[in-house]
Amino acid sequence: MVKTMLGTAVLVLCTLHQGRAIEPEPNWSLRFEELKQAEKAAFKAPRVGDRFTLGRRIGGDVTGTITSLTDDTVTLDGRRYSAAQLLPDTCDRLFAEVHATRIAAERAQVERYDYNSRKQSELQRERAEAQRLEAERRAAEAAALLRVEEQRRLEDQRARAESERALVEAKNEQQRQERNAATGLVVVGVVLCILGFFVYILPSIIAFNRGHANAGAICALNLLLGWSILGWAASLVWALTQQSPANVTVTINRAPRQSAPLVSRPKKTILIRRPK
């Protein structure tokens, strides 16, 4: 897109520059005729009766009085001379056609040379301007490419930084999950240990809760041999077994009747079996 915009700008500038560069080449034939007519109008030829010196091609110069003068002949003291017999300088001073043709040709040649020089200079200037614009376009393209490369490099750095940050966050999350898992395992272990301890001393708890007569023996068996399945099972069965009844002495005092006189009665003892 940048290249297209720059190329369009260069073409527009070149077109505008060429449009105002130089005028179109004139028609040199028409220009020659214009100059010729102007020189004819401005030419002042010698008049009849003037003394004039003719430069002849053969015979040297001759001086006399002009008796007649046409476009290509001159009569000097009754002798007629044509333009072919005279030198170019003499013809240029006598004949308007010859003078106008020479001057017009010289001026047209000078103008054509000037036009060609200006055109060549303008072409060189246009070429230099085009080269300058092309150099500027290339410099702008290079700068645009550098900006694109710099932007791409920054994007790559940003992407790498984001990737590294994501990796660090993933690693931290993994470590956090591992710590949480380890903490959970520790908590579960502690809970299992507590539950295992209560299960381990369950026979002792049952024995003391029931008030077993051999609760101390059961507790010792549970603590010392409970690590073996047989020892723990034996202590549990022992804690759950019923005890033989014990003799309990109960003394009952009977209250005396109100109608009967107070007489001391002997105390009666009753044996009650209370299961343990």
Across residues 71-83, what is the average pLDDT? 88
Q: What is the pLDDT at residue 125?
A: 93
How does pLDDT run across 107-134, given as a tens digit for each residue?
999 999 999 999 999 999 999 999 999 9
The 10s digit of each residue's pLDDT in 181-207 is: 999 999 999 999 999 999 989 988 998
- What is the C-alpha to C-alpha distance for residues 101 and 92, in angstroms, rounded to an integer? 9
What per-residue confidence (pLDDT) applies to 258? 52
Q: Please check the confidence at residue 274 and state whether its pLDDT lies above 70.
A: no
Predicted confidence (pLDDT) at residue 270 exceeds the cutoff of 60: no
Residues 66 and 46 sit within 8 Å (Cβ to Cβ): yes
Distance CA 5, CA 121 (A): 29
Domain assignments of the chain as residue spans, ordered by start: 1-43+99-197, 46-94, 201-242
Band of residue 8 on the pLDDT scale cut at 50, 70, 90? low
Q: Which residue has the tokens 């020189």?
A: 39
The mean-pLDDT minimum among 110-119, 167-176, 243-252 falls in 243-252
For tokens 């246009």, the residue is 126
pLDDT band, very low/low/confident/very high, at 19 (cuts 50, 70, 90): very low
**More confident position, 246 or 47:** 47
- Give the pLDDT of residue 257: 54
